[in-house]
Chains A and B, each alone.
Chain A
Amino acid sequence: MRWAFLITALLAAVPAAAEVRVVATTSSMAMLVREIGGAAVSITTLAPPDRDPHYLLARPSMMVALRRADLLVAVGAELEVGWLPAAVQGASNPKILPGQSGYFEGATQIELIETGQVADRSRGDVHPMGNPHYYMDPVRMATVGRALAARLGALDPSRKDEFAARAAAFTKAVDERAVRWRQQATGAPGVVLYHKDANYLASFLGIPVLGYIEPLPGIPPTASHLRDLVSRLSGTKGVILYNTYHPSEGPAFLSRQLGWKSRQLQLEVPLEATGSTYLDHIDQWVQACTGAMP
């Protein structure tokens, strides 16, 4: 009798219509899942926004989250190649293996830029399959969002229309602001980036990328490279942008030498970000790119 009671109590503790358990690799992907899935999904984010998603440790707690997940939403294009395969392998959850319905890689839903580079590590930490930082392009993120809505709809068919409607609303919100962002960016002289992580935004805005603080992807700046940048760019106009996880010495040197503004911004949205947080985040970057931000 006591056993029967215990079992009933345990069963009651399990939520009846379980929400879709989603694990997102970065906070940008988590934002998209939250925006499209709403209350119908529960989200765990593996990489906090202040870490470089290229280099992370496959922590055991990642495996716990992946073990329980119905869907893994990754940036893809080998951004997380240093840790995600190990975490997925350690989780031994057949549902979320690549090729299964529980694996969603945003990079496969869109067209990437800078594809076809030579796979040669003497050129630094290159991504021959294309630049993986597409989450800085709101239009591409809207496209990924629509594909994600379809996938969530396949996992929870009763809410299919709800997901599609939310994806459409996000696309509309992006389109509305995209016009203004492009107007704001008209005539902007260009940006110097630390890493190739805002190239999608620059190409979306039509702003030229004038150079990189890193001599090669993933290699810290050298004095000679910075001097080259100064001599190449002196007398021209632009702004310098770098991320919170990048060292500030290189950008500060360049800023002093060229007399340009330099801005340190977070590349990823905060952990609990929604679609509107993301649009404000992009807005902040647009202001910084155009030099409008103090």
Chain B
Amino acid sequence: MPTALLAVVFVVLAWVVSVEAGAARPRTPAEIETRRAEVSERLALVEHELAAVMTLLQSLPARLEGADAAAAGALEAQRRALEARRAALAAEREALQAEQAELAALRTRTSTGPLQPSDPQGLSPLDLGGQSGQVSSGQAFNPSISVIPDVVYYSDDVGGGAFEIVEGADGLGGGHEHEGPSGGHGHGTLDRGFNLREMELAFSGAVDPYFDVWATVALGPDSIEAEEVYVQTRKFVPGLQLRVGRFFSGVGHVNRQHPHQWDFVDQALPHQALFGGTLAEAGVQVTWLPNVPVYTLLGFEALQGENERLSHQSGEEHPGLFEETPGPRLFTGFMKVSPDVGYSHALQGGVSFGRSRSHQELIDDGQGPSPQAFDGAAWFIGTDWVWRYDSARPFGQGDLTVQGEYVYRKKDLSPVTSGAPEAGGPRVSAQDGVYAQAVYGIAPRWTLAGRFDAIGLVNRIEVGDVAGEYGASHRYSAAVAFNPTEFSRLRVQYNAGRFQREGRAVFHQVFVQFQMSLGVHGAHRF
């Protein structure tokens, strides 16, 4: 009994397998194209041979006339063989023609190109008579596009108020806290918990033989900001580059980096306190790389001057009090020098300078009867140093980067007499900021980073002949980052702040950051 059952199972299985093997498998477009070529090639051969056979057959009657009996017998045999061959060839031709017609009905091309294996087979569109598509490069002229989401989990021990402390450090509070809660736009302010800090959309490409365009748009939870949109010359005078648009100023080292290039979740304090974040302005930049053996880059910028800490214009908010100075209001210059120190090291030092010809502030320091309007000049000077070591070990292990910057800013403001009730003396403030950081590849794909930054080491505000000295604020940061590839990053960061804000303010912050770079993103400069 079990034997019979086994036999039945075997027979059923054999049948299934044979059906499976015999089933007509849908052919891929490539296979169809190949078969088409084979069929037409074979058809040509068959027709050629058939023509030859027909010619021979037609010549036979003439040859039979003058032949003797033996030769006639041989010719008759040849005739029969030829007839048989003719019939076989005719049959094959018929079969091939039928297959050709069948293949012609199969669709192997779409309007935009050959049918791909993933395209549906069964759908046979109406025969329009020839193709209805167009010869087109389609989207091939699109610029390089990349999407960089930046998700941060954040927590602190001061009820989410750490950013407020950083913003409002004594003497460095931006000078216009009165203009609305937290200035209207929080510079990288995060809520406790999860934040989509920003999603950077970057586009770049060549416009024509003469210009490149770079555009970076930052999409926040409820904002869209053109971080950088500029045109840059491709081939101008050798060594000279011209940039027009809105861009990150070339002063210092980190200023021109986008948040995804930073070695920490947040920006260093000098930039946050003295520039209110990255110095990004509309304007024009000229850089010159002279043809000398040591890398020397000289740059000059004429910028519109809308930075709230350097060239703020209050005319729109208080039309009676202030008169707007036409742009460009902010001019900067910078120089970077980098000697060649071999394949394993890179060293770069730089100095920068910037001067705004008009900076306006409405200050209510509780001393006068009402807020007082000030206008004047502001300038800054800075220096930046970077040393990088490339260990040549796999996945960045042993690589070390040490960098630091110092910025000193001075504002020289005078009271605006027109419209102000009673003018006091001039208001001169001098402040500075510094940071030093190191990033080390502790293991393949893992980096450990440490940073110390401080603001207000010089922190003096003189109003008339009354001088006020404020204390310095410090912050210590440590970050561990895991970079699975160069396109993705996971980072954990801890900050400890010792700030001067109406007394001493201490805070601790924790960040967990997920940063990805999707798509084609241009290579970063040093």
A residues touching B (Cβ–Cβ < 8 Å)? 47-48, 50-52, 55-61, 63-64, 67-68, 81-86, 89-95, 97, 121, 125, 218-220, 245-247
Contacts and interface: CB of A to CB of B under 8 A. Distances in A.
Contacts of B524: 58, 86
Nearest to B399: A57
B523 A61 contact: no
A59 B526 contact: yes
B291 interface: yes
B295 A246 contact: no
Name the 7 nearest CB pairs between A and B, nearest first.
Answer: A94-B235, A60-B338, A61-B340, A60-B295, A86-B523, A48-B343, A59-B346
B238 to A, nearest CB: 6
B444 interface: yes
B523 A83 contact: yes
A52 B340 contact: no
Given A81-B523, A91-B289, A121-B487, A97 B444 contact: no
A220 to B, nearest CB: 6
A52 B396 CA distance: 11
Given A60-B338, A220-B445, A52 B394 contact: yes
Chain A interface, >50% SS class = loop
Contact of B236 (A83, A85, A92): A92
B326 interface: no
A85 B522 contact: yes
Interface residues of B, number: 41
27 contacts: A47-B343, A51-B392, A55-B396, A55-B486, A58-B524, A58-B525, A59-B346, A59-B388, A60-B336, A63-B289, A64-B294, A81-B523, A83-B523, A86-B522, A86-B523, A86-B526, A90-B525, A91-B289, A92-B238, A92-B239, A92-B287, A94-B235, A94-B238, A121-B485, A218-B485, A220-B394, A220-B395
Interface string B263-304: 000000000000000000000000101011111010000000
Contacts of B297: 60
Contacts of B523: 58, 81-86
A82 B486 CA distance: 10
Contacts of B257: none
Given A58-B525, A59-B338, 9 more contacts: A48-B392, A52-B394, A56-B390, A58-B523, A58-B526, A83-B523, A89-B212, A92-B236, A93-B239
Interface of B: 212, 234-236, 238-241, 287, 289, 291-295, 297, 336, 338-341, 343, 346, 348, 388, 390, 392-396, 444-445, 485-487, 522-526
A55 B212 CA distance: 24
Contacts of A125: 485
Contacts of B238: 67, 92-95
Contacts of B346: 57, 59-61
B390 A63 contact: no
B388 A63 contact: no
A67 B289 contact: yes
A238 B409 CA distance: 67
Contact of A68 (B236, B291, B390): B291
A282 B69 CA distance: 76
B239 A67 contact: yes
Nearest to A51: B392
Contacts of A61: 295, 338-341, 346
A92 B525 contact: no
Contacts of A94: 234-236, 238
